[in-house]
């Protein structure tokens, strides 16, 4: 029997657009020169790269395509932005301000810097994962050289007040780096309006190929190269360019601009339908991050279903043809719940039951209705298997989402029987 296949993990990666693939193909075997070469093979590729660069620059309204540095992916772009900027500017100060819920490529790059003389202030977020610009202002010291805030959270979809933060950094004369990984291609981005000096993203999140990342760096922000070799990318990132991927990224950016409003409208409609449908059919379910609307990116829902764990939900959904992600500790290789869920102070029991569904342009109403029909059955199956569900019904433990006033908290119960507090 053919199962319906519904991919709901577009915040992890997306398929390559047909137009992008077709544009890439000649660059593998026909137009295969290196752009550094001075002969016609190389010069022909240069022209293709310049066009791609212009299309990608247009996606973020960069002043010039020369402000883009191509890397191997979003992770390398964050590393280059943070470590490269810190290296180039360490004489001005050794303090960095960062939000508590950044992507691991940002968090871990900054953690690396703390082992090399840098100090960090982490700015907390509120219950829906929003940074307060005034908290950023308060964290800035006379040693601060860089503020790092993402545009959209990769887990819970919160859109951040980057423009307001940009006004503060401009006023203080500090650089602002914005990780736009979860935003690019899914909402309009204007680096000049945001007031950022550095911004990174990854085209495979919006129907471009993997293996290519972008770092926008305006001329006011100096970054020191971390990949040493030849003078590709204006000497800021050595190594022969991944030409086919850059060409594909250019097409993905061009199509993203052209289709932005209809893509956003379609996906936001599906997001609302999925949210309404799941909340109608499942009890004790919580949305993490803002409700669908102006504060949330159009394509994701992050939910916690109480009394059950996330990996089991993910596996049963996959078995029914529905691909999702989870921030549960059982899913992570470190056995720790997502630091984003910890930062919004989500109860441990709810963090364990976490599922992330992220929609794409090719998802349909039928796909969403299939999820709305399938997921409640999975929740029932797992609740039936979970000791917590019966213990809740018997009043031994209480619900976090809709407390009845009977019983102790799940977290307390878990700590009592495991002998240690849950993390």
Q: What is the strand order of the sheet 300-305 is part of?
A: 285-288, 300-305, 354-358
Kindly tell me which residue out of 136, 146, 341, 388 binds another protein, with binding defined by CB under 8 A.
388
Residue 103: name the closest of 283, 327, 282, 310 by CA.
327
The DSSP code sequence of 166-225 is HHHHHHHT-EEEEE-TTTTTTS---HHHHT-SEEEE-GGGGT--SS-EEEEE-TTS----
Q: Does 308 bind another protein (CB under 8 A)?
A: yes
User: What tokens does 65 get?
Assistant: 């395509």
State the binding string over 174-203 for another protein (x if CB under 8 A, else -).
------------------------------
Q: Which of 186, 307, 370, 375 binds another protein (CB under 8 A)?
A: 307
Kindly state whether residue 415 participates in binding another protein, applying the rule CB under 8 A.
yes
Question: Which part of the chain contacts another protein (CB under 8 A), choosing from 93-101, 210-218, 344-352, 355-363?
Answer: 344-352
Question: Minimum CB separation from another protein for residue 22, in Å?
Answer: 20
CB of 309 to another protein, least distance (A): 5
Least Å distance between CB 373 and another protein?
19
For the segment 351-380, give every residue that binds another protein (CB under 8 A): 352
Pick the binder of another protein from 4, 143, 390, 406 (CB under 8 A): 390
386 counts as binding another protein under rule CB under 8 A: yes
Of 43, 231, 335, 402, the residue at the interface with another protein (CB under 8 A) is: 335
Task: Please report, for residues 4, 320, 321, 377, the alpha-carbon distance to residue 1 in angstroms, rounded to integers and kept in the order given.
Answer: 10, 12, 12, 19
**Three-state DSSP state, 323:** strand
Q: Please enumerate, as own/partner, the contacts of 106-113 that have beta carbons within 8 Å and a separation of 24 or more.
A: 106/78, 106/82, 106/148, 106/150, 106/179, 107/339, 109/78, 109/79, 109/82, 109/83, 110/82, 110/148, 112/83, 113/82, 113/83, 113/86
| Total residues at interface with another protein (CB under 8 A) | 37
CB nearer to another protein: give 119 or 318: 318
Task: Please name which of 388, 378, 384 lies closest in space to residue 315, comparing C-alpha atoms.
Answer: 378
250 touches 53 (CB < 8 A): yes
State the Cα torsion 220-221-224-227 to the nearest 10°: -110
Burial 83-93 (b: 16+ CB within 10 A, else e): bbbbbebeeeb
Does 418 sit near another protein (CB under 8 A)? Answer: yes
Among 142, 228, 404, 417, binds another protein (CB under 8 A): 417
- What are residue 302's DSSP bridge partners? 288, 356
- Show the binding pattern over residues 5-34: x = contacts another protein (CB under 8 A), - = does not: x-----------------------------
Give the integer Cα–Cα distance in Å for 48 and 28: 13
CA distances (Å), origin 115, targets 83, 103, 111, 119, 149: 12, 19, 7, 9, 21
Residue 398 found at the interface with another protein (CB under 8 A):
no
By CB under 8 A, residue 96 contacts another protein: no
Q: C-beta of 8: minimal distance to another protein in Å?
A: 14
Cβ-based nearer residue to another protein, 75 or 411: 411
Q: Is 331 in the site for another protein (CB under 8 A)?
A: yes
If binding is defined by CB under 8 A, does position 401 make contact with another protein? no
Which residue numbers are catalytic?
330
Q: Rule CB under 8 A: choose which of 99, 328, 338, 399 binds another protein.
A: 328
The gap between the terminal CA atoms of the chain, to the nearest Å, is 42
* Spatial CA neighbour of 212 closest among 203, 222, 221: 203
Q: Which C-beta is closer to another protein: that of 135 or that of 391? A: 391
Quick check: 394 binds another protein (CB under 8 A)? no
Computed on alpha carbons and rounded to an integer, the radius of gyration of the chain in Å comes to 23
Q: Does 312 bind another protein (CB under 8 A)?
A: yes
Of 43, 127, 138, 385, which one interacts with another protein (CB under 8 A)?
385
Per CB under 8 A, the segment of 39-47, 96-104, 296-304, 312-320 that binds another protein is 312-320
CA dist., res. 212 & res. 77, Å (int): 9
Q: Does 319 bind another protein (CB under 8 A)?
A: yes
Rule CB under 8 A: say whether 329 interacts with another protein: yes
Q: Which is nearer to another protein, 220 or 333 (CB)?
A: 333
Question: Which chain residues interact with another protein by CB under 8 A?
Answer: 5, 307-312, 315-316, 318-319, 328-331, 333, 335, 337, 348-349, 352, 384-388, 390, 413-415, 417-423
């Amino acid at each position: 029997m053919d199962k319906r296949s519904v991919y709901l993990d577009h915040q992890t990666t997306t398929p390559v657009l047909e137009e992008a693939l077709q544009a890439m193909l000649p660059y593998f075997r026909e137009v295969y020169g290196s752009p550094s070469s001075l002969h016609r093979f190389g010069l022909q590729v240069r022209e293709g790269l310049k066009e791609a660069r212009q299309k990608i620059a247009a996606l973020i309204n960069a002043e010039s395509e020369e402000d883009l540095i191509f890397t191997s992916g979003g992770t390398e772009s964050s590393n280059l932005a943070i470590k490269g900027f810190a290296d180039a500017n360490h004489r001005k100060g050794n303090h960095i301000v960062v939000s508590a819920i950044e992507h691991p490529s940002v968090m871990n790059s900054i953690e690396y810097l703390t082992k090399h003389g840098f100090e960090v202030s982490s700015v907390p977020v509120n219950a829906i994962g929003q940074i307060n610009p005034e908290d950023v202002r308060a964290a800035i010291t006379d040693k601060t050289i860089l503020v790092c805030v993402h545009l959209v959270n990769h887990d819970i979809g919160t859109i951040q007040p980057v423009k307001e933060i940009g006004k503060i950094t401009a006023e203080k004369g500090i650089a602002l780096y914005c990780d736009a990984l979860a935003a690019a291609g899914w909402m309009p981005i204007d680096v000049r309006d945001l007031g950022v000096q550095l911004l990174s993203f990854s085209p495979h999140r919006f129907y471009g190929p993997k293996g290519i990342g972008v770092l926008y760096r305006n001329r006011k922000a100096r970054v020191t190269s971390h990949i040493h070799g030849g003078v590709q990318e204006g000497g800021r990132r050595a190594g022969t360019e991944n030409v086919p991927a850059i060409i594909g990224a250019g097409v993905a950016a061009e199509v993203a601009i052209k289709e932005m409003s209809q893509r956003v409208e379609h996906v936001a409609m599906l997001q609302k339908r999925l949210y309404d449908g799941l909340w109608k059919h499942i009890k004790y379910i919580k949305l993490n991050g803002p409700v669908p609307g102006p504060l949330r990116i159009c394509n994701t829902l992050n939910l916690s279903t109480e009394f059950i764990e996330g990996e089991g939900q993910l596996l049963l959904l996959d078995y029914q043809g529905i691909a999702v992600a989870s921030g549960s500790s059982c899913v992570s290789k470190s056995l720790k719940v997502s630091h984003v869920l910890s930062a919004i102070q989500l109860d441990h029991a709810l963090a364990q039951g976490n599922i992330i569904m992220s929609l794409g342009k090719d998802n349909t109403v039928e796909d969403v209705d299939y999820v709305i029909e399938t997921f409640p059955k999975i929740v029932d199956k797992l609740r039936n298997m979970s000791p917590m569900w019966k213990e809740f019904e018997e009043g031994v433990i209480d619900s976090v989402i809709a407390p009845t006033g009977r019983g102790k908290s799940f977290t307390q119960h878990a700590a009592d029987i495991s002998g240690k507090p849950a993390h």
